[in-house]
Homo-oligomer: A and B are copies of this chain.
Amino acid sequence: MKISMHAMSHGVFRKGLAQLQHVLEKAVANAEARKFETSVLVGSRLAPDMLPFVRQVQLASDFAKNSMARLQGVDPPKFEDNETTMDDLFARVKKTIEYIDSVPAASLEGSETRDIVLKLRDRTIEFKGLAFLQNWALPNFFFHTVTAYNLLRHNGVDIGKRDFLGG
Protein backbone atom coordinates (compact mmCIF):
# COMPACT_ATOMS: atom_id res chain seq x y z
CA MET A 1 0.00 0.00 0.00
CA LYS A 2 1.36 3.36 -1.05
CA ILE A 3 0.60 6.72 0.52
CA SER A 4 -2.23 8.45 -1.33
CA MET A 5 -5.00 10.93 -0.68
CA HIS A 6 -7.35 7.95 -0.40
CA ALA A 7 -5.14 6.14 2.14
CA MET A 8 -4.83 9.30 4.26
CA SER A 9 -8.56 10.10 4.19
CA HIS A 10 -10.56 6.88 3.88
CA GLY A 11 -7.89 4.87 5.72
CA VAL A 12 -8.02 7.20 8.72
CA PHE A 13 -11.80 7.82 8.76
CA ARG A 14 -12.61 4.11 8.35
CA LYS A 15 -10.70 3.12 11.46
CA GLY A 16 -11.93 6.12 13.45
CA LEU A 17 -15.57 5.37 12.61
CA ALA A 18 -15.20 1.68 13.50
CA GLN A 19 -13.77 2.69 16.88
CA LEU A 20 -16.60 5.17 17.34
CA GLN A 21 -19.05 2.28 16.85
CA HIS A 22 -17.07 0.33 19.44
CA VAL A 23 -17.27 3.09 22.08
CA LEU A 24 -20.99 3.56 21.35
CA GLU A 25 -21.48 -0.14 22.10
CA LYS A 26 -19.49 0.14 25.32
CA ALA A 27 -21.54 3.17 26.36
CA VAL A 28 -24.82 1.27 25.89
CA ALA A 29 -23.51 -1.71 27.89
CA ASN A 30 -22.27 0.62 30.63
CA ALA A 31 -25.63 2.40 30.90
CA GLU A 32 -27.36 -0.97 31.24
CA ALA A 33 -24.94 -2.12 33.94
CA ARG A 34 -25.24 1.15 35.89
CA LYS A 35 -29.01 1.34 35.24
CA PHE A 36 -29.40 4.76 33.68
CA GLU A 37 -31.00 5.84 30.40
CA THR A 38 -28.61 6.24 27.46
CA SER A 39 -30.47 9.48 26.64
CA VAL A 40 -28.43 11.06 29.45
CA LEU A 41 -25.27 10.35 27.44
CA VAL A 42 -26.85 11.38 24.11
CA GLY A 43 -27.61 14.85 25.52
CA SER A 44 -24.44 15.26 27.60
CA ARG A 45 -22.07 18.22 27.22
CA LEU A 46 -18.67 19.21 28.62
CA ALA A 47 -19.77 22.85 28.94
CA PRO A 48 -23.25 24.41 28.77
CA ASP A 49 -22.44 26.29 25.55
CA MET A 50 -20.92 23.27 23.79
CA LEU A 51 -22.66 20.90 21.38
CA PRO A 52 -24.03 17.71 22.97
CA PHE A 53 -22.86 14.16 22.31
CA VAL A 54 -25.45 13.55 19.57
CA ARG A 55 -24.06 16.47 17.54
CA GLN A 56 -20.45 15.36 18.11
CA VAL A 57 -21.25 12.00 16.49
CA GLN A 58 -23.23 13.59 13.65
CA LEU A 59 -20.35 15.99 12.96
CA ALA A 60 -17.74 13.21 13.00
CA SER A 61 -19.92 11.48 10.40
CA ASP A 62 -20.26 14.69 8.38
CA PHE A 63 -16.54 15.41 8.26
CA ALA A 64 -15.83 11.86 7.08
CA LYS A 65 -18.51 11.69 4.37
CA ASN A 66 -18.33 15.33 3.25
CA SER A 67 -14.54 15.24 3.00
CA MET A 68 -14.57 12.08 0.89
CA ALA A 69 -17.14 13.72 -1.41
CA ARG A 70 -15.29 17.05 -1.68
CA LEU A 71 -11.99 15.37 -2.46
CA GLN A 72 -13.78 13.68 -5.37
CA GLY A 73 -15.37 16.95 -6.45
CA VAL A 74 -18.96 15.73 -5.95
CA ASP A 75 -21.75 16.94 -3.66
CA PRO A 76 -21.76 15.18 -0.27
CA PRO A 77 -24.71 12.88 0.46
CA LYS A 78 -27.14 14.64 2.78
CA PHE A 79 -28.01 12.87 6.05
CA GLU A 80 -31.03 14.12 8.01
CA ASP A 81 -29.49 14.73 11.45
CA ASN A 82 -32.61 13.23 13.00
CA GLU A 83 -30.85 10.80 15.38
CA THR A 84 -32.13 10.81 18.96
CA THR A 85 -30.90 7.49 20.43
CA MET A 86 -27.66 5.53 20.69
CA ASP A 87 -29.13 3.02 18.21
CA ASP A 88 -29.79 5.84 15.77
CA LEU A 89 -26.23 7.09 16.19
CA PHE A 90 -24.80 3.62 15.64
CA ALA A 91 -26.83 3.37 12.41
CA ARG A 92 -25.62 6.82 11.35
CA VAL A 93 -21.99 5.77 11.74
CA LYS A 94 -22.70 2.52 9.87
CA LYS A 95 -24.27 4.47 6.98
CA THR A 96 -21.24 6.77 6.95
CA ILE A 97 -18.87 3.81 6.68
CA GLU A 98 -20.95 2.39 3.82
CA TYR A 99 -20.70 5.68 1.97
CA ILE A 100 -16.97 6.18 2.39
CA ASP A 101 -16.35 2.53 1.44
CA SER A 102 -18.29 3.14 -1.78
CA VAL A 103 -15.83 5.82 -2.95
CA PRO A 104 -13.36 4.28 -5.42
CA ALA A 105 -9.74 4.98 -4.46
CA ALA A 106 -9.07 6.03 -8.06
CA SER A 107 -11.59 8.86 -7.79
CA LEU A 108 -9.27 10.66 -5.36
CA GLU A 109 -6.23 10.47 -7.61
CA GLY A 110 -4.79 13.93 -8.08
CA SER A 111 -7.14 15.37 -5.45
CA GLU A 112 -4.15 16.91 -3.60
CA THR A 113 -4.25 19.79 -6.11
CA ARG A 114 -8.05 20.03 -6.45
CA ASP A 115 -9.59 23.42 -5.57
CA ILE A 116 -12.06 22.99 -2.72
CA VAL A 117 -14.37 25.84 -1.74
CA LEU A 118 -16.25 25.62 1.55
CA LYS A 119 -19.16 27.96 2.11
CA LEU A 120 -19.57 28.22 5.89
CA ARG A 121 -22.20 30.19 7.77
CA ASP A 122 -20.05 33.29 8.10
CA ARG A 123 -17.21 32.91 5.60
CA THR A 124 -15.91 31.07 2.57
CA ILE A 125 -12.68 29.07 2.74
CA GLU A 126 -10.65 27.92 -0.24
CA PHE A 127 -8.12 25.12 -0.09
CA LYS A 128 -6.08 22.93 -2.35
CA GLY A 129 -7.01 19.29 -1.64
CA LEU A 130 -3.84 18.53 0.34
CA ALA A 131 -4.27 21.49 2.72
CA PHE A 132 -7.99 20.64 3.01
CA LEU A 133 -7.05 17.15 4.22
CA GLN A 134 -4.23 18.33 6.54
CA ASN A 135 -5.87 21.39 8.08
CA TRP A 136 -9.59 20.78 7.80
CA ALA A 137 -10.80 17.23 7.20
CA LEU A 138 -8.52 15.36 9.63
CA PRO A 139 -8.47 17.91 12.51
CA ASN A 140 -12.26 18.34 12.32
CA PHE A 141 -12.91 14.60 12.18
CA PHE A 142 -10.72 13.93 15.22
CA PHE A 143 -12.05 16.98 17.05
CA HIS A 144 -15.50 15.40 17.10
CA THR A 145 -14.53 11.74 17.61
CA VAL A 146 -12.24 12.60 20.55
CA THR A 147 -14.84 14.93 22.05
CA ALA A 148 -17.46 12.15 21.81
CA TYR A 149 -14.99 9.82 23.57
CA ASN A 150 -14.22 12.45 26.24
CA LEU A 151 -17.92 12.98 26.94
CA LEU A 152 -18.38 9.27 27.63
CA ARG A 153 -15.19 9.12 29.69
CA HIS A 154 -16.28 12.15 31.71
CA ASN A 155 -19.58 10.39 32.41
CA GLY A 156 -17.85 7.32 33.80
CA VAL A 157 -18.15 4.94 30.84
CA ASP A 158 -15.39 2.33 31.22
CA ILE A 159 -13.34 3.15 28.13
CA GLY A 160 -9.65 3.89 27.70
CA LYS A 161 -7.44 5.14 24.87
CA ARG A 162 -7.12 1.63 23.49
CA ASP A 163 -10.88 1.65 22.79
CA PHE A 164 -10.40 4.84 20.81
CA LEU A 165 -7.36 3.59 18.88
CA GLY A 166 -8.40 0.00 18.24
CA GLY A 167 -6.11 -2.99 17.67
**Is A140 part of the binding interface, using a Cβ–Cβ cutoff of 8 Å?**
yes
| Complex Cα–Cα for A143 and B165 (A) | 9
Closest to A141 in B: B142
Q: Tell whether A166 is near chain B: CB-to-CB under 8 Å.
A: yes
B1, B4, B139, B161: the one contacting A143 at CB < 8 Å is B161
User: What is the predominant secondary structure among interface residues of chain A facing chain B?
Assistant: helix
Quick check: is A74 within 8 A (CB to CB) of the other chain? Answer: no
Assuming the contacts A3-B8, A46-B46, asked whether A150 and B139 have C-beta atoms less than 8 A apart, the reply is: no
**Does A77 touch B at the CB level, under 8 Å?**
no
Contact B147 A11 (CB under 8 A): no
Assembled-state Cα–Cα distance A16/B142 (Å)? 12
Q: Which residues of B are found within 8 Å of A2, using beta-carbon distances?
A: 112, 130
Q: Please, what's the 1-or-0 string for A69-106, where 1 marks a CB less than 8 Å from any CB in chain B?
A: 00000000000000000000000000000000000000
Q: Which residues of B contact A166 (CB under 8 A)?
A: 135
Query: Can you show 8 pairs from A to B with CB atoms below 8 A apart?
Result: A1-B128, A3-B3, A3-B8, A8-B134, A15-B135, A46-B46, A143-B149, A146-B146
Decide yes or no whether A47 CB sits under 8 A from chain B.
yes
CB-contact partner of A47 in B11, B15, B153, under 8 A: B153
Having A3-B4, A146-B150, one finds 8 other A-B pairs with CB under 8 Å, namely A1-B130, A2-B112, A8-B8, A46-B150, A46-B154, A47-B156, A135-B166, A140-B165
